[in-house]
């Protein structure tokens, strides 16, 4: 997607969200490649937060962008959504969900209808066409009203009686064409709108961190990254260095089920005189400041030198620790206590 198209779609998406009572963070530096463009929180606590990626073609997103969009969504307790214009074959169809790497993609019209009018999509794109969910109970009622057996209905629809049983038990989707034919036979609509947010929630429930996709250690930041990795390993935690997130790394610990992240900390940035870049640093500090009250974890900055200019961090009341403080830690409890204590200092 060109920078102009991204800007236009970001502005349009922001307006739609704000009109629906979301507060929107979209202050991402154009110099940075991020796995998202917008982070939206609703004024009502039980309405999920959204992490939104804007693209032109949903089929050319790099795997690590998708992975980190899921990863950041999990840590921010948000739902990831991709808003696109086309796939490799055609423009994205209105009122339809497209699945890519376990993530939902929709076009701008569909997104606006969901957010503004709670008008849910009716179809999902799968190999072989577009498919819909059916109201099994309604099919039973309408079939009996017309005195049709399952075999009768199957014969009229030109499917097996077993398929009709699956429809009635809500165990199988059908094509849009079959749904339309069913409507004509039974005399009423039997499609069920797709609960997009619930579908998104289910679609990445089995997500687990893939360390192979993290940022590689380079000559520019080798010393700092190696030092932090060694310290974190010693406390029983793991690190994931991000490529496309406003957080430099995630420090986490998984339980026996690798899809369940037991305990984690978001490291908003790592400050070093050798690798300091103002646009990157400003984005990290601002995002940490704007999300620290909504994330379900602790966000903090790590500095490798107390004398480094950290005026902005202090002004924005963003918690920070110096790497020398981490070096003396040797168990998870001390690690957690230090970070929690430092966070509470600035609240």
Tell me, what CATH number does 61's domain have? 3.40.1350
Beta bridge partners of 38: 52
**Structural domain count, the chain:** 3
Is the residue at 66 inside a domain? yes
Residue 87 DSSP class:
-
Contacts of residue 18, defined as CB under 8 A and 6 or more positions apart, other chains included, come to: 24
Identify whether 213 is part of a domain.
no
Does a structural domain hold residue 59?
yes
Whether 99 and 150 map to the same domain: the answer is no
- Tell whether 115 and 139 lie within a shared domain: no
Co-location of 240 and 188 in the same domain = no
140 and 107 in a common domain: no
For 227, the token pair is 């030092």
Has residue 126 been placed in a domain?
A: no
- pTM for this one? 0.83
225 and 331, same structural domain? Answer: yes
- Which residues have CB under 8 Å from 223's CB, separation 6+? 274
Across the chain, the runs of DSSP E, i.e. the strands, are 22-25, 38-42, 49-54, 78-83, 96-100, 103-106, 123-126, 129-134, 174-175, 191-192, 238-241, 249-254, 261-271, 298-303, 320-322
Chain centre distance of CA 331: 31
Q: Residue 177: give the domain boundaries.
A: 132-192
Q: Does the residue 150 lie in any domain? A: yes
Residue at 43 is within a domain: yes
CATH number of the domain that 175 lies in? 1.10.260.40
C-alpha–C-alpha distance, residues 334 and 260, integer Å: 23
What does the pLDDT read at residue 210? 87
Residues 39 and 103 in one domain: yes
Residue 139 lies in a domain: yes
Angle between helices 136-145 and 176-186 (to 10 degrees): 30
Same domain flag for 108 and 147: no
How far does CA 279 lie from the centroid of its chain? 24
CB under 8 Å to 215, separation ≥6 — which residues?
Answer: 241, 242, 243
The reply to whether 106 and 138 lie within a common domain is no
Q: Which tokens belong to 213? A: 């996709």
pLDDT of residue 5: 59
Residue 257 backbone phi and psi in degrees, to 5: -90, 110
Same domain, 311 and 334: yes
pLDDT value of residue 156: 93
pLDDT of residue 75: 79
pLDDT, averaged per 10 consecutive residues of the chain (347 residues), comes to 63 94 82 86 88 93 91 86 93 93 92 94 89 95 94 93 94 92 94 86 77 81 80 81 84 61 54 55 72 61 62 65 72 70 60
pLDDT given for residue 259 in this prediction = 45
pLDDT at 183: 94
- 103 and 25: one domain? yes
Q: Is 194 helix (H, G, I), strand (E, B) or coil?
A: coil
Residues in the chain: 347
Does residue 289 share a domain with residue 251?
Answer: yes
**Beta strand pairing status for 261-271 and 249-254?**
antiparallel
Whether 183 maps to a domain, the answer reads yes
Q: Are residues 249 and 338 in the same domain?
A: yes
Name the residue among 170, 110, 101 with its Cα closest to residue 135: 170
Please give the Cα distance from 309 to 305 (Å, whole number).
Answer: 9
Task: Determine the pLDDT at residue 296.
Answer: 53
């Amino acid at each position: 997607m060109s920078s102009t198209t991204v800007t236009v779609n970001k502005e349009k998406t922001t307006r739609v969200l704000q009109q629906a009572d979301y507060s929107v963070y979209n202050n991402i530096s154009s110099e940075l490649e991020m796995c998202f463009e917008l982070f939206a929180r609703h004024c009502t606590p039980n309405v999920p937060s959204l992490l939104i990626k804007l693209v032109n073609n949903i089929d050319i997103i790099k795997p690590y962008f998708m992975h980190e969009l899921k990863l950041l969504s999990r840590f921010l307790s948000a739902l990831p959504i991709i808003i696109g214009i086309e796939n490799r074959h055609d423009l994205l169809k209105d009122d339809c969900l497209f699945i890519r790497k376990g993530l939902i993609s929709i076009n701008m019209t569909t997104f606006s209808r969901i957010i503004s009018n709670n008008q849910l999509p009716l179809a999902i794109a799968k190999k072989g066409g577009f498919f819909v969910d059916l109201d099994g109970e309604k099919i039973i009622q309408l079939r009996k009203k017309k005195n049709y057996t399952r075999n009768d209905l199957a014969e009229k629809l030109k499917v097996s009686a077993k398929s009709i049983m699956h429809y009635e038990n809500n165990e199988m989707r059908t094509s849009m064409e079959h749904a339309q034919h069913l409507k004509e036979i039974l005399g009423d609509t039997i499609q069920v709108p797709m609960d997009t947010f619930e579908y998104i929630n289910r679609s990445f429930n089995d997500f687990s961190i893939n360390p192979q996709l993290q940022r590689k250690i380079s000559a520019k930041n080798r010393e700092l990254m190696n030092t932090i990795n060694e310290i974190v390993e010693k406390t029983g935690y793991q690190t994931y260095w991000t490529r496309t997130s406003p957080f430099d790394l995630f420090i986490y610990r998984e339980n026996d089920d690798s899809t369940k992240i037991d305990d984690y900390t978001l490291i908003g940035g790592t400050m070093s005189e050798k690798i300091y870049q103002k646009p990157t640093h400003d984005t990290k500090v601002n995002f940490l400041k704007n999300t620290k009250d909504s994330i379900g974890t602790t966000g903090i900055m790590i500095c490798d030198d107390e004398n480094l200019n950290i005026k902005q961090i202090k002004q924005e009341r963003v918690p920070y620790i110096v790497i020398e403080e981490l070096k003396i830690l040797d168990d998870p409890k001390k690690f957690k206590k230090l970070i929690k204590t430092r966070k509470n200092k600035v609240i």
